[in-house]
Amino acid sequence: MTRVIRFHDFGEPLEVLREERIEIPDPPSDRIRVRVLATGLNPADWELCRGFRPGTLPRGIGYDVAGVVEAAGPGRDNVRIGDVVFGTADFAGQPSAGAADAAILNNWVPVPEQLDAAQAATLPMVVQTAAWTLELIALRPGATLLVHGAGGMVGYAAAQMALRRGARVIATAGPTFTPDLEQFGARVTTYGEGLSERVRALTGGADVDFVLDTPRPSPGTLPDLIALAGGDPRRVVTVSNHDEARKLGARVNLDELRPGLTPLATLLPEYATLAARGEFRLPIAKTFPLGQWRDAVRLSLSGHPHGKVVLTP
């Protein structure tokens, strides 16, 4: 029997999540089962608990997983028992996900030798969200991108990716990650009142070409961001302020996801390799044993975990 953290009803995460013991089945075709080494938690886990994209219940949390292959579905001859891999839990197709002792994965690649499992388990959701959203923006070298909320992990990743693509990056962040972002090459200012004036001071009064809005939902911020993008709402893309963006004509990344974006099979090994070389990173706020999952959830829900929250066996 395997420990899993999952929910049977929608509601606030700490009210609906429970620890249970279940049998994890043999994987179907195009899936593998792993013994979990580390699971990264994301704000999206809590939105799923609240009913975002509802599906069959019960459902698990923990999309980002690193683990040791225990079993492979029929026809999977490109993976061996005992391989150390990381990827994405099949949270929509299974009654549990990565916050467990064992998990079914639907996407996976090898963990590079120089990268530990916990660091690998920080990557999938953040990398895919940041990379795909920058593709939707069609960011070009030399463009100026304002990353609003670069102290959160999607913004922190997107700033690094945009700089690697030759963009000029202005980032908003608090003091915890300002030194990191400046070291990457971003120009950093603080959140809050006076943001427009501070950004224009960094641009010499010019508009920015694009805005990527990444904080947790923060109603009322988008009008200033649109103004900084020359008043053009189509130059602003949000990953979180969905309702306000739609009302104002700004773009919502989830509304535009489409076939043809770089697949995870390409993104995951690329950024794992960069992370193993120290050329891309996501900080870990704290690692918790699975039995302390409630403490992990509380830290993630605090809104300011200052990095990824990771569960280990």
Three-state SS letters, 165-201: CCCEEEEECCCCCHHHHHHHCCEEECCCCCHHHHHHH
Q: What's the Cα-to-Cα distance from 110 to each of 19, 107, 113, 116, 265, rounded to whole Å?
A: 29, 11, 9, 11, 11
pLDDT at 206: 96
CA distance 68 to 103: 10
Kindly report each contact of residues 159-162 with a partner whose C-beta sits within 8 Å and lies 24 or more positions away, as own/partner.
Answer: 159/184, 159/186, 160/184, 160/280, 160/281, 161/130, 161/131, 161/134, 162/134
| Cα dihedral sign, 65-66-69-70 | negative
Partnered with residue 213 across adjacent β-strands are: 148, 238
CA distance 300 to 313: 18
| Residues 148-157: tens digit of each pLDDT | 999 999 999 9
CATH number of 2-122+282-312: 3.90.180.10
pLDDT at 174: 94
pLDDT at 180: 97
pLDDT at 118: 98
Superfamily name with CATH number, domain 127-256 = Medium-chain alcohol dehydrogenases, catalytic domain (3.90.180.10)
Domains 2-122+282-312 and 127-256 share a fold: yes
Sequence-distant (≥ 6) Cβ neighbours of residue 180 within 8 angstroms: 156, 283
Partnered with residue 237 across adjacent β-strands are: 212, 251
| Residues 222-238: tens digit of each pLDDT | 999 999 999 999 999 99
- Of residues 148, 113, 109, the one with CA closest to residue 277: 113
pLDDT at 251: 96
pLDDT at 19: 98
Segments of the chain scoring below 50 in pLDDT: none
| Domain coordinates in residue numbering, the chain | 2-122+282-312, 127-256
pLDDT at 304: 84
The conformational region for residue 192 under phi > 0 = left, psi -120 to 50 = alpha, else beta, is: left
